Amino acid sequence: MMRKKIVAGNWKMNCNLEEGQKLTSEIVNMIRDERSKDVTVVLNPPYVHLLSVKKLIGDIPGLSVGGQNCSDKDSGAYTGEVSAKMLASFGATYVIIGHSERREHFKEDNKELTDKVKQALNNDLTPIFCCGESLDIREAGTHEVFVKEQLSESLFGLNDADFARLVIAYEPIWAIGTGKTASSDQAQEMHAAIREHIASQYGQPIANTIPILYGGSCKPENAEEIFSKSDVDGGLIGGASLKSRDFMDIIQSF
Ligand code: PGA
């Protein structure tokens, strides 16, 4: 089964305008020169960069722009919020939903995330839905149950056609920004469990088409090993996506 391979860069709250443009231009140039493989690359800068990033990447095939979040509401008096419809109007085609930093610092819960996913889908954005356990949960051995519950609670109300449009990112919280990566076997084990869980609800054919990305201290040094696993379809890259050479090397790791 050929699934879409995706490497998405999550810039988080980094880069001023000049830095963002420089980083994007470097990536665009490298992709023009070097990329031969069939990998979809998504840049997820802070909202304020969307337009300049979109202009710089233009219509290069396989290179897309996405948001890091969107509102669970359509429009209206929600000061500081940005809607999925706005993201789409700026040329975004992806949006990260439910990143653990959003869950932790902004108290996003599984129910609110359902509404965000629906907003994204209604506006033709592909949600990159994040899940993953804390260190406590990993050490208690309940990580699979926890992650499955995150998925069921937020996503299992979707119909088959909508579910089939999702990308899932498994990001163990203990590996994010810590330099401590899950081993490729730990990643494979969880990705397989996620796919099996999806199959139990939506059937194997849909489960087989959903890209499941790994995130958490993914670097050029470990990407090849992690991406070689059968249920790992790419990565959601934080720190290393801010260095064009590292990001490109990760893209080339397939
Ligand atoms: P990291 O972040 O690659 O810096 O660990 C990944 C993420 O949070 O998406």
pLDDT tens readout for residues 137-190:
999 999 999 999 999 999 999 999 999 999 999 999 999 888 788 899 999 999
- pLDDT over 90 at 249, yes or no: yes
The pLDDT, as a whole number, for residue 178 is: 83
Catalytic residue among 101, 112, 133, 171: 171
41 Cβ below 6 A of ligand 1: no
Average pLDDT of the residues in 204-212:
98
Cα 226 from Cα 249, distance rounded (Å)? 14
Q: Is the CB of 177 under 6 A from ligand 1?
A: yes
User: What pLDDT band is residue 243 in, cutting at 50, 70 and 90?
Assistant: very high
d(CA 63, CA 47): 17
Residue bearing tokens 């990308």 = 167
171 within ligand 1 shell (Cβ under 6 A): yes
**Residue-level pLDDT at 179:** 77
Q: What value does the mean pLDDT of the chain take?
A: 96
Report pLDDT digits (tens) over 68-103. Answer: 999 999 999 999 999 999 999 999 999 999 999 999
pLDDT score of 67 more than 80: yes
Q: Please tell me the distance from the alpha carbon of residue 148 to that of residue 145, in angstroms, as a whole number.
A: 5
pTM of the complete model: 0.97
Position 36 pLDDT exceeds 80: no
Residue 27 pLDDT class (50, 70, 90 cuts): very high
Q: For ligand 1, atom 3, which residue shows the shortest CA distance?
A: 238
* Beta-carbon count within 10 A of 21 CB: 16
- Active-site annotation holds for 18: no
Assess whether the C-beta atom of 182 lies below 6 angstroms from ligand 1: no
Per-residue tokens: 189: 């084990």
Told to judge if 144 belongs to the known catalytic residues of this protein, a careful annotator would answer: no
Q: Is the dihedral of CA 76, 80, 81, 85 positive or negative?
A: positive
Q: Which of 176, 222, 226, 243 to mutate to test the pocket of ligand 1 (most atoms within 8 A of CB)?
A: 176
User: CB neighbours of 19 closer than 8 A, spacing ≥ 6?
Assistant: none
Mean pLDDT computed over 123-133: 98
Residue 176 beta carbon below 6 angstroms from any ligand 1 atom:
yes
Residue 116 pLDDT level (bands cut at 50, 70, 90): very high
Q: pLDDT band at 1, cuts 50/70/90?
A: low
